[in-house]
A and B are shown apart, each in its own frame.
Chain A
């Protein structure tokens, strides 16, 4: 069964460093999302992406964040200068049907900022 894959599974970084989280969505999906979850609790929307541009972003997704789909398969989330409060589990998700379709989630990338 096709799945969304995310790398790395865990990254530890120093405050102020840049981090890139990578995702390979399911191949025929068209809509891509990043969510984060802090301490296994609330699942917070960061950004949605369709047709090579951002569809919507949340207040969390400030100038320190960016997304890219550089080669038609990968979907990356970059945090330019990490802060302590960026420590979280980051989930990539995708679907083919937009807002009527279920999301397929990856297993997540745990980011720890020291």
Chain B
């Protein structure tokens, strides 16, 4: 069965430092992977996706993610965190006629 795992409930990082939010996946066939961000009392917003091609994917707000097939990972990264990046981040995988979301990682960027 298709699944994604986000091993960290919360990640704390100082403003200006690089951030990483981890995601691993388990799929049969080619994975279609996504990252979304959710601010309080809002819907999920798309950040980036990996469908095929270059393993390093660039997305909105300076975020990027690296697809690693051997480690079955799709970690979200940003070189320099902003306080405004503080939010809930979800990794997702496409599975047939649905998308399966991870449990979410709360990112807290400290000023």
Chain A contact residues, CB within 8 Å of chain B: 4, 33, 35, 40-45, 48, 50, 55-56, 58, 91, 93, 98-100, 102-108
Q: Are A103 and B98 in contact (CB under 8 A)?
A: no
Chain B residues 76 to 92 lying within 8 A of chain A, measured CB to CB, are 88, 90
Number of A-B contacts defined by CB within 8 Å: 59
The stretch of B16-24, B40-48, B67-75 in contact with A is: B40-48
Q: Are B46 and A43 in contact (CB under 8 A)?
A: no
**Interface check B51, CB cutoff 8 A:** yes
From A58, A98, A103, residue with most partner B Cβ within 10 Å: A103
Q: Which of B49, B88, B104 touches A102 (beta carbons < 8 Å)? A: B49
Give the residue name and chain of the A residue nearest to B93 (CB).
Answer: A99
Task: Give 8 closest A-B pairs by Cβ, nearest first.
Answer: A105-B43, A55-B97, A56-B97, A102-B46, A99-B94, A43-B101, A48-B97, A105-B44
Separation of A106 and B32 alpha carbons in the complex (Å): 22
Chain B contact residues, CB within 8 Å of chain A: 32, 34, 36, 40, 42-46, 49, 51, 88, 90, 94-101, 103-104
Residues of B within 8 A of A100 (CB): 32, 51, 94
Q: What's the least CB distance linking B110 to chain A, in Å?
A: 21
Q: Are B103 and A103 in contact (CB under 8 A)?
A: no
Q: Are B44 and A56 in contact (CB under 8 A)?
A: no
Residues of A within 8 A of B49 (CB): 102
Separation of A56 and B97 alpha carbons in the complex (Å): 6
